[in-house]
Amino acid sequence: MPYLNREQILHLIKKKQIFSDKSYISNQIQPASLDLTLSNKCYRIKASFIPNNIKISEVIKELSLTKIDLNQNTLLEKNCIYLCELNEKLHLPDDIMGKSNPKSTTGRLDIFTRIITENGKEYDYVNYNYKGKLYLEIIPQSFSIVLKKNTSLNQIRFFQGSNIENKIKQINISVSIKRNQISAYKAKKITSAIDLNKIKFYKSEKYWEKIIPEDNYFIIERDEFYILRSKEAIKIKNNQAAELEPFKDSFGNFRVHYAGFFDPGFGNNKSGTPAVLELRAYDTPFIIRDGQLVGQLNYYEIDDIKKDSYGSKIKSNYFNQNLKLAKQFK
């Protein structure tokens, strides 16, 4: 099976192929992924980078503006670039690789994140047989944020074998826009910072503008951030996992800001559950209509999750979502 499930990830932890500076790494295991957590070591840096054959410690010396201690609540400012060492380290075997993506909350708060590995030549991929530390680049884009050590912004899933692109099936995903109804939220430009540890705390109207179109379309403006929902209701069975892959530019002058990962059990009910989408226009305003295609949901095989799949039992935050903002909002 290409995707590893909860029990298989736990087996990697027991074999010390995944290990952490934290005491309780097992409580970070999701049905088919592992939550990654920030250590106390963080740097504000001048620019993004790919290490290639340069040690990350050397790149930090070159690019670091200031060192930040995340043992206390710390403000990460909007549109600044940060590099944080993660608690988790890997000692992967020859036939297992990893791929990371932002957690749902990270995407909905417009926090741009990506994993960097030693000698890595691309973001978010961890090569077979990788041995070493993991680093997370963090760029808050719509809001300044407050966080501290052990916060989780990203997750990693693991693949065994070489056929990781072997899809079971795929479906197209489009946006839902309804006349005279709240069809999207647009992030406001001037707001106070958001403390990621405060759940159901902030009033949404202070941070978001409701988009209520007069027809089945509206214009997404350049450099603005929008939350929408999919027209399709998604169901992921307990022996499946799925990933939302954005369409190429020829489908529209915008991008789905964060490709999403869907755990086994997501929407596995009578009617299914829509996906929440984060969109930005590229260089010009762009009109987006009800039913417009934005991405493709790829389904992959996984060993059946016998218990504790995605849902209320494991306190999943978005199991019953519709057009839902991040968990920090009331």
Find where tokens 């789905």 sit.
256
**In CATH, what number does 6-160 get?**
2.70.40.10
**Does an H or E element contain 231, and which?**
strand 225-234
**pLDDT number for residue 314:** 45
Rounded Cα distance, 138 and 281, in Å = 21
Fold of 169-314: Deoxyuridine 5'-Triphosphate Nucleotidohydrolase; Chain A (2.70.40)
CA angle 268, 98, 118 (to 5 degrees): 150
In this prediction, residues 90-116 reach a mean pLDDT of 95
Is the Cβ–Cβ distance between 92 and 129 less than 8 Å?
Answer: yes
SS3 category, 210? strand
Q: Count of alpha carbons within 13 Å of 205, Cβ hemisphere only? A: 0
Considering the chain, what is the average pLDDT of its residues? Answer: 90
Strand locations in 57-190 (E) = 64-69, 74-76, 81-91, 96-102, 111-117, 125-126, 131-140, 145-147, 154-160, 169-174, 184-187
Is the predicted pLDDT of residue 305 greater than 90, yes or no?
no
Residue 319 pLDDT greater than 60, yes or no: no
pLDDT at 196: 97
pTM (predicted TM-score): 0.92
> Looking at the predicted structure, is the pLDDT value of residue 34 above 80?
yes
pLDDT at res. 251 = 56
Share of the chain above pLDDT 90, in %: 70
Q: Which of 53, 2, 56, 57 is nearest to 32 (CA)?
A: 2
Distances (CA, A) of 59 to 64, 108, 138, 181: 8, 30, 16, 49
Instruction: Point out the least confidently predicted range of 166-170, 258-262, 297-301.
Output: 258-262
Q: Where in the chain is the domain with CATH 2.70.40.10?
A: 6-160, 169-314
Cα–Cα distance list, 297 to 55, 241, 274 (Å): 36, 10, 12
